[in-house]
Structure 1
Amino acid sequence: MNVNVVPCTTWVKRGVAAPNPEKVQLTPAELEGIIKRTQTQLEDIDSDSEVNDQNDHVVANGNQTTNSAPSGENAASTDEFNFENYDDEDGNIHCSIGGLAVINADGTDPFVTVGEDEDVDSEKEDDIIKPDDNLVLVAHVEGDASLLEIFVYNEKEGSFYCHHDLLLPAFPLCMEWLSFDPSDAKPANFCAIGDMTPIIQVWDLDLIDCLEPAFTLGSKPKKKKKQKRVGHKDAVLDLSWNSNYTHVLASGSVDQTVLLWDLENGTPVTKIKHFAEKVQSIAFHPRETHHLLTGSADSTAKLFDCRTDDTFKSWEATGEVERVLWNHFDPNYFFISTNNGNIECVDVRQGQHVWQKKAHEKEITGLSLSSSCPGLLVTSSDDSVIKIWDVLDIHTMDLVFEKKTNLGALQCLSSCPDSPFVFASGGDNKSHNYKVWDLMEITAVAERFKGRSLINSDSVSTSSDSHQGELMEVTEDMECITLKDKNKVK
């Protein structure tokens, strides 16, 4: 598979990562166990695929026929990411660890020729993550290999380098940082990743040379073992962590559902099914902890109140919804980007659009607000263009700067949580596909925003302290934020 792309990226706040990430030291027995489990999983996948292939053949009136896939324009509209034919492409989305790892009888790796006493310590200082460092998480797919690359970015020093990376089992499509560890009461430094499979992988970013995720969410059915499916039925396109209720993670999927996961026990407790197409973007409200915003390819954005049965508001968009974004400076409004290059602003209180604007020539894959500079909105698109807007006046959208990048078709965009003018974007250019932008180096941006008062978005509140306390008490139990479909979520 001839590909080199960064499909998703996100940031980790300063002071969160462990100063000295722990290097995993596997015993030969542990490594052998991982290899055997991986081989068993791959065998189960192959076995289930054979069964599914047999079931795809329908016998009618004694004649064998096959279910045909849509073709032409219809196929493009219903299967944008070519999920139908993904398994038939060259390469394998699963990592065949069994063919890569070899262990000698004495427990040594025959491919390692440098002894421990010969290790070079010249880069030891780079291994230490300082309090003023940000981590930048980059999903990187090159050929058949999918990696989660953990970069260190220090704005003051101007440094940016890869600290360590993790080998992923499948093509990543979305990621979300979270600090909830079901096995430890202390805050964690985890990254949840949705990929081409229905299973969500959660990785510990404070571990180096880790071969397995800290835990996974969901499981595929195993017909031979008579195990039922848990979770999604298809690829996971977006994730949203509820930072107010840290044990709650939402996921949107190609299977036209949103699931709310209880991270305490790793199970889905709520299923939202009010969609006619794949769910491409989801976001919890920054203050109202029960409210979940969704955008799907059925050209609608929906706002759900997770405390009540089937309660939601819906807005028609001008195209398939690619991204949804709360205005965290004033969460009475949110933004929508679409596959035909439009951006739309919606007033939740009035239940109607404030404006819509043609912003790009192709689908808008990135939609991000500055962490603390009000009105600074950045968009990126499949047309390779990045644009900077001023939306301080919520009734207008003023273009400040635009640039055609050399990153290829832009796939993702993310704002630094600690620096108001630092953003990162990734694309599919095979030779250069990732960049961290300091927007203050752009004259037009500096002139527009340098005098603007910065606001810590975490301090903005639309609810009184007493009301917020009431919400926290009401939803202390996960049962309180479940919807009608919660029973037997599979």
Structure 2
Amino acid sequence: MISALAWVPPGASSQTPKFTDIPESALKETRERMKRRTDVEDDSDDDDDDKSEEKDEEKEEEEDDDDDEEGMADEQEMKDALNDDDSEESESDSDVKEKKNEKKKAIRKAQAVANAARGITDDLAELDMDNYDNDDSYDEDIQERQLFGKMNSEFESNQDDPYVTIKDSDDDEEEENPDDFGILKNDLVVLAARAEEDASHLEVWVYQEAITNEETHETEANLYVHHDVMLPAFPLCLAWMDCCKDTGANNRGSYCAVGTMYPGIEIWDLDCIDAVEPAATLGGYDTADVKKSSSGGKSKPKVKKEGHQDAVLGMSWNSQFRNVLASASADKTVKIWDVSTETCTETLTKHTSKVQCLEWNPEERTVLVSGGFDKHARVCDVRAPKEASLDFNVGADCESVCWSARNPLEFFVSNEDGEVACFDTRMASSNINSGGKKKSKKSSSGTSSAERWRIKAHEEATTSVSCCHGSPGAFLTSSTDGTLKLWDENVGSTPKLLAANTAGVGAVFCAGFSPHLPYLAAAAGSAGAVSVWDVLSEDAVRQSRHGPLLERYEAQFN
């Protein structure tokens, strides 16, 4: 299954990914270990050689003895036959002649057998089968000349080879495809967190948009895994970022923060093909504090105090303050991290149960919305973490939150009952209870006055909600019922269904619009596959008010 997705901005990935630089100390240790292993193997090989030589000598002696015995048996048979001739002179002529003929046949047969044995021995000696595997006994040059005449089969370049008609300068294939690991400028990258029974991986998927074949007039998009990274535990959430501890203020890279069932957050360099260790780790286990247990073995390391104490369920990167990452955890807290120093700067305790999701406001980058299993969403400003937060009753466990692309003062939240609700933060700003905690008041109908609308989007849990920033008012929902739905939100009215799509990835656990190409939406789920939905392929979308806005992005990219 695939539990989380994240889009990478176009052009952010390196066109020529690098490989891991192994430290010189590790190389030196490896060389010494290989040398020790080689010395041990050499000693064992010498012993084996001595034993094999003794066995060969014994074998040769046995073979010589066998040959001698065979030769002696043949000679003895011939002598016995001749002696029999002398002892039988007194018999009748007919019997003598008959016996002589039989003896002559026996002699000829014995001679033939002896000659055959000697011939086989001579042939084996000529073949020298003991040295059959010796490279020196095989003349490759002679066979090459027999097969190919006087042609020289090796040249320094195609320019020197008279049998190559397409020279190096004329072959443009290498220039068009410089490297199998390369990522082209127009390639789109999607990150996927795959969880299996025996291992978990962070996969880097490459999506190439559909191109029409002039002969068949068919259009097919290409979607494949470029490379992957092995993870230590079941992955739950992803967040792309361009900053890490090694990047300066003006330098940008391509990194992915991964939240798992472990309390630590690993940040991986996506431009490194064969990375075996994360570029940075936030929180997690303190490996330096490992004490011996009473039984004599080592006990499990303790969790760092500044980090999460339980699984990391959600994350959001702050693109304006590039070194800032927010994380939500099953330990009921939200933490604000400084990625450049790998330290936690703030810990928010606004929820009373597991915190499932969160997102930074696109306009006010210090404002954060979070949703939890306490059936509430809360909005707070991290500049005043101890101040009361805005409280919104969602009605069921929160699954996903996102800020509205049409109005940054509103946010959407989905829940496990299949609902999606929209809340206005302005309506709850003055509602404070006696304990100093802000709380949204209820209207006479029983709903919150901050709630603008609520829809039953799916029959099963609505696992994600994503706004289309290229066309405000359009948003996407996904569900464990296996469908994606595109909705149109008009001002002052309840959203209407615009288009639906069966993703074909089983129960959909995660989905979202590309922030830079908003006509594309990626989805993944229980089937373990990634699917990309081009919403402009739907006639209802092209003919709606969102069609012209999204077509501009399509024309600019292509």
For residues 181 and 235 of structure 1, what CA distance do their matches in structure 2 show? 22
1:394 deviates by: 5.5
Contact 1:220 1:229 in 2 (8 A): no
1:393 deviates by: 2.6
1:403 deviates by: 3.6
Contact 2:356 2:400 in 1 (8 A): yes
Tell which deviates more after alignment, 307-316 or 439-448.
439-448
Note closer, same or farther for the CA distance 1:131–1:406 as it changes in structure 2 (3 Å cut): closer
Match for 1:165 among 215, 228, 232? 228
Note closer, same or farther for the CA distance 1:33–1:187 as it changes in structure 2 (3 Å cut): farther
Where does residue 9 of structure 1 map in the other structure? 5
Q: Deviations over 1:249-308 (max 9, x none)?
A: 110000000000111211111111121110001001111121010100101110001112
For residues 33 and 215 of structure 1, what CA distance do their matches in structure 2 show? 24
For residues 202 and 394 of structure 1, what CA distance do their matches in structure 2 show? 42
Match for 1:133 among 187, 191, 196? 187
1:336 aligns with 2:413: yes
1:300 aligns with 2:354: no
Match for 2:356 among 263, 276, 280? 280
1:143 deviates by: 2.6
Where does residue 144 of structure 1 map in the other structure? 198
Where does residue 180 of structure 1 map in the other structure? 243
Where does residue 509 of structure 2 map in the other structure? 411
For residues 271 and 329 of structure 2, what CA distance do their matches in structure 1 show? 28
1:381 aligns with 2:479: yes
Tell which deviates more after alignment, 240-249 or 306-315.
306-315
Partner-residue secondary structure (3-state), 2:277: coil
**TM-score normalised by L of structure 1:** 0.70
1:444 deviates by: 2.2
Partner-residue secondary structure (3-state), 2:508: coil
For residues 456 and 247 of structure 1, what CA distance do their matches in structure 2 show? 32
Contact 2:405 2:473 in 1 (8 A): no
1:196 aligns with 2:294: no
Q: Counterpart amino acid of 2:380? A: F
Q: Higher RCO, 1 or 2 (CA under 8 Å, sep at least 6)?
A: 1
Matches within 5 A, 1:186-335: 186-221=251-286, 222=289, 224=291, 228-308=304-384, 309-335=386-412
Where does residue 155 of structure 2 map in the other structure? none
Note closer, same or farther for the CA distance 1:381–1:453 as it changes in structure 2 (3 Å cut): same
Partner-residue secondary structure (3-state), 2:225: strand
Contact 2:483 2:508 in 1 (8 A): yes
Contact 1:354 1:395 in 2 (8 A): no
1:386 deviates by: 1.4
1:15 deviates by: 1.3
Q: Counterpart amino acid of 1:426? A: A
1:244 deviates by: 1.1
For residues 444 and 19 of structure 1, what CA distance do their matches in structure 2 show? 36
Note closer, same or farther for the CA distance 1:394–1:335 as it changes in structure 2 (3 Å cut): farther
Contact 1:149 1:165 in 2 (8 A): yes
Where does residue 444 of structure 1 map in the other structure? 540
1:373 deviates by: 1.8
**Structure 2: tracts of 5 or more residues without a match:** 39-173, 212-220, 293-300, 429-449, 554-558
1:30 aligns with 2:126: no
Note closer, same or farther for the CA distance 1:356–1:450 as it changes in structure 2 (3 Å cut): closer
Note closer, same or farther for the CA distance 1:297–1:130 as it changes in structure 2 (3 Å cut): same
1:21 aligns with 2:86: no
Q: Counterpart amino acid of 1:360? A: H
Contact 1:382 1:409 in 2 (8 A): yes
The number of residues matched between the two structures is 370
**TM-score normalised by L of structure 2:** 0.62
For residues 208 and 407 of structure 2, what CA distance do their matches in structure 1 show? 29
Q: Deviations over 1:138-166 (max 9, x none)?
A: 11123311111111223365332221111
For residues 385 and 105 of structure 1, what CA distance do their matches in structure 2 show? 57
Q: Counterpart amino acid of 1:254? A: A
Say which structure is richer in helix: 2
Say which structure is richer in strand: 1
For residues 422 and 27 of structure 1, what CA distance do their matches in structure 2 show? 41
Partner-residue secondary structure (3-state), 1:30: helix
1:393 aligns with 2:494: no
1:197 deviates by: 0.5
Contact 1:219 1:230 in 2 (8 A): no
1:392 deviates by: 3.8
Partner-residue secondary structure (3-state), 1:448: coil
For residues 361 and 252 of structure 1, what CA distance do their matches in structure 2 show? 27
Q: Counterpart amino acid of 1:300? A: H
Q: Counterpart amino acid of 2:393? A: E
1:448 deviates by: 2.1
For residues 220 and 201 of structure 1, what CA distance do their matches in structure 2 show? 12
Contact 1:373 1:452 in 2 (8 A): no
Contact 1:300 1:315 in 2 (8 A): yes
For residues 449 and 33 of structure 1, what CA distance do their matches in structure 2 show? 65
For residues 426 and 178 of structure 2, what CA distance do their matches in structure 1 show? 54
For residues 33 and 389 of structure 1, what CA distance do their matches in structure 2 show? 59
Note closer, same or farther for the CA distance 1:322–1:214 as it changes in structure 2 (3 Å cut): same
For residues 526 and 380 of structure 2, what CA distance do their matches in structure 1 show? 34
For residues 353 and 32 of structure 1, what CA distance do their matches in structure 2 show? 64
For residues 358 and 31 of structure 1, what CA distance do their matches in structure 2 show? 59
Q: Counterpart amino acid of 1:190? A: Y
For residues 405 and 104 of structure 1, what CA distance do their matches in structure 2 show? 55
Q: Counterpart amino acid of 1:423? A: A
Contact 2:244 2:280 in 1 (8 A): no
Q: Counterpart amino acid of 1:10? A: A
Match for 2:525 among 422, 427, 434? 427
Q: Deviations over 1:112-156 (max 9, x none)?
A: xxxxxxxxx997544222222221111112331111111122336
1:450 deviates by: 5.2
1:455 deviates by: 11
For residues 551 and 406 of structure 2, what CA distance do their matches in structure 1 show? 8
CA RMSD of aligned residues (A): 2.7
Contact 2:354 2:374 in 1 (8 A): yes
For residues 365 and 293 of structure 1, what CA distance do their matches in structure 2 show? 17
Note closer, same or farther for the CA distance 1:237–1:31 as it changes in structure 2 (3 Å cut): farther
Note closer, same or farther for the CA distance 1:404–1:453 as it changes in structure 2 (3 Å cut): closer
1:456 deviates by: 10
